Structure 1
């Protein structure tokens, strides 16, 4: 039974390399957001707008050709050609304004440290090659999310990516309908796990 007070977030994985993201802010929090975005999707197209862009943000962003920087105040027209907005500005009035203007344009918005202004959150992510696991505590405890991330990073072997590649090739070779393919893939997954447990 689903409880209404449970985590109501719906997990999705966005192809950021096919979207245009606006990042408002140029300080430490902006660097944290930028690192998360580009760490997961290095080919993302991101426009940074801030009155001041720190040297740390400039240095990090300089390694990614899809990032453009505009050292000036935010303008409403900055929202016109973007798909996603991340706000990392320490300015409550600006945060609320961007939220309001973004809503008019049906944009998804994340405002750093302001869950009530967010349509989505940037959760902890575990990445092993093609395997990516997102972790959310619904904003209750980023510390626990970080610990779970560390635990999974240690528990999952680096070879998991080879297994994913093998399973993908096997799936392409299988005949039958969807149910038959799932049943066959489940058999192979069980045998892989059994072989690891037997070591």
Structure 2
């Protein structure tokens, strides 16, 4: 049973430490920036690939230190992502993170993670996170591709219209919820009908 609690984090308001500057570090950094272009990330690695340097240079909210990890790198950090192939270092940082109560993700090591980086479907303001509880990132990726193809590009226009509709509703909370539910139910019926044609 998947007991994970899904949340969406404002990475531009907290500080993230990414340890690892190789291909996996690049993959994690690209995922962060795809979802949160203004994320505040400090990357630490003994060797940082050219592609990672390039990405860091293109953003004013990313910084890097090309050196070995130091315990003091965790000062004022809110979130940690490890992209190293060094089990001893990963365990060391895991222990420090527990002591400091900092949430940690370790690439390809579900047992060391406090949270997972799931696949994400993004269409404008709509964002859908997909989790397999760390069991199969490949299935999550396939579901992402399926939903990405399924959802219409116009969904963002619909979200804007619904936001305006909601902001103009009068009445108490329960009446607003009833009207919104009625309106969205009709919308999805119409979408299904249009797809059948």
| TM-score, normalised by the number of residues in structure 2 | 0.95
- The aligned counterpart of 1:176 is 171
- Given candidates 152, 157, 160, the residue that maps to 2:152 is 157
The unaligned stretches of length 5 or more in structure 2 are: none
Superposition deviation, residue 189 in structure 1: 1.1
Whether 1:86 aligns to 2:78 is no
- Structural RMSD (CA): 1.0
Superposition deviation, residue 198 in structure 1: 3.8
Whether 1:8 aligns to 2:3 is yes
- The aligned counterpart of 2:64 is 69
SS of the residue aligned with 1:191? helix
Whether 1:102 aligns to 2:108 is no
Whether 1:190 aligns to 2:185 is yes
Superposition deviation, residue 65 in structure 1: 1.2
Superposition deviation, residue 90 in structure 1: 1.1
Whether 1:146 aligns to 2:138 is no
Superposition deviation, residue 195 in structure 1: 3.0
In the alignment, the residues of structure 1 paired with residue 191 and residue 143 of structure 2 have an alpha-carbon distance, to the nearest angstrom, of 22
Whether 1:27 aligns to 2:29 is no
Whether 1:52 aligns to 2:47 is yes
SS of the residue aligned with 2:43? strand
Superposition deviation, residue 179 in structure 1: 1.4
- The aligned counterpart of 1:3 is none
